[in-house]
Amino acid sequence: MGKGAPMERELDGHGIRTSGTIHWNVTTPRLYEAAILNREGSLARGGPLVVTTVPHTGRSPNDKFIIEEPGCRDAIWWGEVNRPLAPERFSTLHRRMLDHVADRDLFVQDCFVGASPRCRLPIRVITEKAWHSLLARSLFIRPDEVELKNHRPRFTVLCVPSFTAVPERDGVRSGVFILINFAERLILIGGTEYGGEIKKSIFTVMNYLMPREWMALPMHCSANVGPHGDTALFFGLSGTGKTTLSADPKRSLIGDDEHGWDEEGVFNFEGGCYAKVINLSEAMEPEIFACTRRFGTIMENVIIDGETRTVDLDDASLTENTRAFFPIDFIPDAVPSGRGGHPKNLIMLTCDAFGVLPPISRLTPQQALYHFLSGYTAKLAGTEDGMGKEPKAVFSACFGAPFLPLHPSVYAELLREKIDRHSVRCWLVNTGWIGGGYGVGTRIRIDQTRALINAALDGLFEAIPFVTEPFFGLSIPTACPDIPERIFSPRGLWADGERYDEAALFLAGELRENFKQFETLLSHDKRE
C-alpha cells in the first residue's frame, strides 16, 4: 500500500513519514518475493527462507534498556537485567530513527499476543526488512478480517537494523539497542537483525502487563494437552528441549515457548514456533524437522548449499544458535485455539552440564518454587553474543530472567498460588549429561527423556517406589517401562563415584549460593 493511502495516514500517528512504500499486512508469498528481491535471504530446497544475521547471531541482553519514567519506576526490577535509560535519551534517539527511515520502504504487520480474549494485547510491528515482517506474521497471532478492521495497537515495535546508536551520545553500550518504553507503549530495535529481539521484547512487555493488569502468570514455557484434556507445562531455557519435548505426536501442542495462566487455564502468547534446529534429528524430532523443509518457515543462520539449496542442520559454522520460525499449525494436531485447561503437571527442564542430576525426579510444591526461582541449566554456546565455545552453568530466575521486568518474587507468588489451588504435580527433568559431565559423559537420549515424561504425565510412577538422593533432596523413581533401571542411579552411572560426589557437592553449593537472594521467599528448608 503506497503513500497517501488511509493506512499510511494512520502510520502518521507513530510519527513516521516516508517517501518510500508502506507494505501493510502483506501476505507470506509477497513477503517472500520482497525478501528475495531485496537480497535479504535465499530460497532453500523445500521452500524455507534462509536468512543470516551476522554479526549478531544471538540476543544482545546488555543492550536492552527500559525507559525510566514515573509510571514504571517503582515497579521495575532494576539491575543487570533491566537497565534504565532516561526519557530524554529515548526521545532523541527516536527522532533520529524516524529521520533515518524517511526515504525507506517499510513493512507493517498488525497482530495479537495472547490467545485468551481476556489477556490479549494488540500489537503493531514496523520493520525495514521484509523477512522481519514475515517473522511477525508467522510468530504472533494473526487477526481475522473483522479483527483487522478494528485493530488498534497497544504496543508498537519499530525495528530498523540499519540504524545504529552512538553510545557516547545516546547513553547506551554499543550501536545495538533494544529500548522498551512502557509510557509511550513503544519498542525501538536497531543495530541488529537477530529476529529473537522482536519476539523477546514483546514477551518482556507481557511479563510486565499480565501480573499488573490481569493478575495472571506469564511463563517462559511450552505447553501441550493429552487426549483426555490434561494440560502439561514445560519450563526451561534455550536448548533444554521445550519445543522438542512438547511437540509430542501423542499429545496436542498448545505452544512452544511463551504462555499465560489465568483463571480459565493456560493460553499461548503466540501463533507460531521458534525452534532451535542445530543437529535436529528427523528420527527423534520428525514434526519440527518437517517444518525445516516447507514454504513459510524462516531459517535463521542455517547454512545452505549454494548448488542444491539444501540446508545443513549440523553446520554450526555461523552459530550454535540456529533457529526456525514457523506458524504453529505446521505442527500436526496443534491446538487451534491456543488454549488449554489448568495444568495437571508442571515439568522443569534443565540441561545439567555436570551430569549429576537424575533424568527425572518428583518435586514437592516447595521444591518446585525453589527450582523455579533458581532456573538452573547449562547455557550452551551461541544463544547470546559473547558466549564462548564451552557450556557454562547459569541461573536464570523463573527460567527467563532476561525477560522479567518485575521482581521474580511476583511471578513465584503467582505460581505458588496456582500450584496449591490446582494440585499440580511437579517434576524436574535433566535433558543434559549422565555418566559424567560435559566432555566425559553422554547426553541422555531424547527418546528416553520423552518416555520418562510420558510416564509422569500418564501417572505410571504412582505405583513405582521412589528413593531420595542425598545431595539435592530429590525424589527419584526406581523404574519406568522400557527404560534401563541403571539410569535412575546418577552416581552409579559414573566410572568414579567419588568424582560424582565432588561434582554433586559443587553444584549443590552453587544452587545454595545463588538462592541466597530469594531465601526469604521460602521456608527455612527450601527442599521440603
Please give the positions annotated as active site.
59, 200, 220, 238, 242-243, 257, 323
User: Torsion over CA of 27, 30, 32 and 33, rounded to 10 degrees?
Assistant: 180
Instruction: Specify the amino acid at residue 506.
Output: F
- Round to whole Å and give the CA distance between 485 and 481: 9
DSSP one-letter code for 93 = H
Contact 248, 412 (CB under 8 A): no
What is d(CA 330, CA 255) in angstroms, rounded to the nearest whole number?
12
Report the alpha-carbon distance of residue 479 to residue 461 in Å, rounded. 8
Task: List C-alpha distances in Å: 115 to 85, 143, 224, 255.
Answer: 32, 11, 14, 10
What sign does the dihedral 410-414-420-424 (CA atoms) show? negative
The CA-to-CA distance between both ends of the chain, in Å, stands at 61
Distance (Å, whole) CA 349 – CA 421: 23
User: Are 258 and 216 spatial neighbours (Cβ–Cβ below 8 Å)?
Assistant: no
CB 196 within 8 A of CB 146: no
* Closest-CA residue to 185 (of 156, 152, 210): 156
